Amino acid sequence: MSTLTTVLAILVALEHLYIMFLETIATSSESTSRVFGISIKKACEDLKAAYPDVKWKEGKLLNRVSMKDLEDWVK
């Protein structure tokens, strides 16, 4: 493989990883909203309409929270 082919393959792989990240982990981020052309509000409305039996809660960043804080948020 030539150097150019290798560089292009790496760039494509990175792009795919970024899209996978947006679709699986950062589903409610501004970047995801911008990339896929849908507002976060619209996405939430669509999900609530598609799954009416689910108890929806506002999202919360739960990095390094105590188990009690996590249990309180889940209730």
The pLDDT assigned to 1 comes to 67
The pLDDT assigned to 57 comes to 73
Q: pTM score, two decimals?
A: 0.41
Could you read off the pLDDT tens digit of each residue along the chain, which spans 75 residues?
Answer: 699 999 999 999 999 998 888 777 776 677 777 777 777 778 788 888 988 898 887 776 777 888 888 888 777
Show the domain range for 48.
Answer: 3-74
The pLDDT assigned to 11 comes to 95
User: Are 64 and 71 contacting, i.e. CB atoms less than 8 angstroms apart?
Assistant: no
The pLDDT assigned to 10 comes to 95
Query: Phi then psi for 67, rounded to 5 degrees?
Result: -65, -35
Number of domains in the chain: 1
User: Are 58 and 70 contacting, i.e. CB atoms less than 8 angstroms apart?
Assistant: no
